[in-house]
Structure 1
Amino acid sequence: MAKSMLLISRQAPWSGPGAREALDIALAGGAFDLPLALLFLDDGVLQLCPTQQPALLQQKDLTANLQALPLFGVEALYASSRSLQERGLDPLALNLAVEPLDDQAICALIGRYDLVMTL
């Protein structure tokens, strides 16, 4: 039986390789039907901003990878309500539909998965 995995993405999209690696792991896990969820926490919620301009930093856009998550079976997508609020992000204006969770719900979410990986 496949173990379930929760990926917690905590890095801003252009602060290092963590954001891209989390998306790559999620897409690979989804391709192999691994029960998987993705939680955007802290600066990781900045990956969900619709007005990113990665070309200014000579980086690749992560939007296509984010939009591909449901196509690969990764449909359990969450974001920290607190992190969104602290960064002035409206959950309804993000470039990906995520379920906002408060801190208590995040703790319960973590407890439901066999493996938890933070990037």
Structure 2
Amino acid sequence: MSKSLLIISRQAPWAGPSAREALDIALAGGAFDLPLGLLFLDDGVFQLLPDQQPGALQQKDLTANLQALPMFGVEALYVASRSLSERGLAEQPLALPVESLDDTELTLLIDRYDQVITI
């Protein structure tokens, strides 16, 4: 039986390769039917904003990778509600359907997974 994996993505999409690497791990795990979840935390919540313009910063667009997550079976998507609030994004529409979790729910979520990777 496969161990479950939670990937915590903490970096903004324009802050280097970390955001793309987190999505790549999630897509690869999904392709192999690994039970996994993806949590957007801290600046990682910026990945969820629609209509980003990464070309202005000479970065690649992550939108296609995000939209591919459900097609690869990655449907357990979470966001930290405090991270959204602290960045003024609590009322913003997001590019993906994610479950918003408070601090207590985050602790319970992390405890549910066998392995946790923070990127």
TM-score, length-scaled by structure 2: 0.97
Is 1:91–1:100's contact at 8 Å kept on the other side of the alignment? no
Is 1:37–1:76's contact at 8 Å kept on the other side of the alignment? yes
Q: How many residue pairs get matched? A: 119
Alpha-carbon distance, 1:14 to partner: 0.9
5 and 11 in structure 1: CA distance in 2 versus 1, 3 angstrom threshold: same
Alpha-carbon distance, 1:117 to partner: 0.2
CA RMSD of aligned residues (A): 1.0
Alpha-carbon distance, 1:36 to partner: 0.4
Alpha-carbon distance, 1:92 to partner: 6.0
Cα distance in 2 between the residues matched to 1:18 and 1:112: 24
Is 1:41–1:79's contact at 8 Å kept on the other side of the alignment? yes
Equivalent residue, structure 2, for 1:41: 41
Structure 1 runs of 4+ aligned residues shifted over 6 Å read: none
Is 2:81–2:100's contact at 8 Å kept on the other side of the alignment? yes
Equivalent residue, structure 2, for 1:106: 106
2:8 alignment partner AA = I
Cα distance in 2 between the residues matched to 1:78 and 1:69: 13
Alpha-carbon distance, 1:90 to partner: 3.5
Is 1:91–1:98's contact at 8 Å kept on the other side of the alignment? no
Equivalent residue, structure 2, for 1:76: 76
Worse overlay, 49-58 or 94-103: 49-58
* 1:34-82 residue CA offsets vs partner (Å, 9 max, x unmatched): 0000000000000001131001011110011001000000000000000
1:53 alignment partner AA = Q
TM-score, length-scaled by structure 1: 0.97
Instruction: Give unpaired runs (5+ residues) of structure 2.
Output: none
Percent identical: 74
- The 5 Å alignment of 1:24-63 reads 24-63=24-63
